[in-house]
Structure 1
């Protein structure tokens, strides 16, 4: 390769790199524009979906559920517990309200899933009784161990602090955010707390139709 050919090659490579960077920047701006309304509603989409660990939990009917097989619907995954004094009843009440204001076709594509951060007290029977106060269609899951729970929480980046269960009437510190799980069983994003119910009602129909 002559010096001239080498210089032309370098120039073409640089132009290709620059054009690629410009294209990526334009695409990123377009994507950000499309997601602005979602972001204002507290719905944050991940740039790349995350696979969930193959962990088996038990639902409120005593049936095993593989957490990475939450498929065919969009799942709003919430970490909480039935003895929670504040965050959980508020969150579940808001989710019930949001669901009730969505069109039936959208409701059918969504499910609310409560993962207990208190497997010591939250038996399947306790979960079923508790969730029935809000919506019998809400799903409750309890892990077999704190280790399982920690693995799942780490995978979806929803923190909690394991409690000292030896103390009477102990509480569990946990996040009020939701993990957004797509119908393919992967995590697509988060929904930040506190929720703006009206904005979520406006944005969820378009999200579930993606």
Structure 2
């Protein structure tokens, strides 16, 4: 490599570095989240949002709840059940704590939804009683097992239905959360176990109302 070529190479590298720093500064100034910080908090955003299936479940008040009602706010969906011995109560307690760590605007723009993977035992009444131990604003959904499986598969949180003939049966399921945007589409996941301090730092920017 000649001296002139080396000089040109160095100039190109310097220009590239300056452009990179400039682009990073512009993105930061626009309030865009740092992908590395999001991943460190356990937040995985999809490269392209996914539509949710058109189906109806039943909420904790016994009212029909269409999945397309998950609009206008951000939602965190957790697939679990009220007779779960460990993952579910721990996750719901962490979600209750997370809400207290968020600023008011972010908290008001976020709903937490427990989708039951044990509809045989999780009646609306059972869901309402159980969620009341954590946060009365949490939403509980139950319904036909087939519909719940369809939703779980669509958002890539499959579970293994239990043998309900067994006494005190348990259900194998994931502890990950599904992120649903205000447009009703899946935007990503939050990986378990939850890192509340880091989530509280990253979620407010993500949960800002559109516009």
Could you list the runs of 5+ residues in structure 2 that have no partner in the other structure?
A: 1-19
Aligned residue for 1:160? 159
Aligned partner of 1:19 in structure 2 is none
| Structure 1: gaps (5+ residues) | 1-25
**How far apart are 1:69 and its partner, in Å?**
2.3
Q: So what's the TM-score if we normalise by structure 1? A: 0.83
Moved over 4 A (4+): 29-33
TM-superposition CA deviations, 1:29-73 (whole Å, max 9, x none): 979983111111000000000000011000000111111220111
Q: Which residue does 1:141 correspond to in 2?
A: 141
Secondary structure of the 1:129 match is helix
- Quote the residue 1:120 is aligned against: 120
3-state SS in 2 of match to 1:160: coil
CA contact (8 A) 1:41 1:200 kept: yes
Q: Which structure 2 residues correspond to residues 1-210 of structure 1 after superposition, within 5 A? A: 34-143=34-143, 145-209=144-208
User: How far, CA to CA, are the matches of 1:155 and 1:33 in structure 2?
Assistant: 26
SS, match of residue 161 in structure 1: coil
How many residues get paired?
182
Provide the rounded CA distance (Å) in 1 between the counterparts of 2:101 and 2:85: 26
- Alpha-carbon distance in structure 2 between the residues aligned to 1:33 and 1:198: 16
- TM-score when normalising by structure 2: 0.83
Q: Is the 8 A contact 1:77 1:112 kept in 2?
A: yes
Q: State the distance in 1 between where 2:88 and 2:95 align.
A: 10
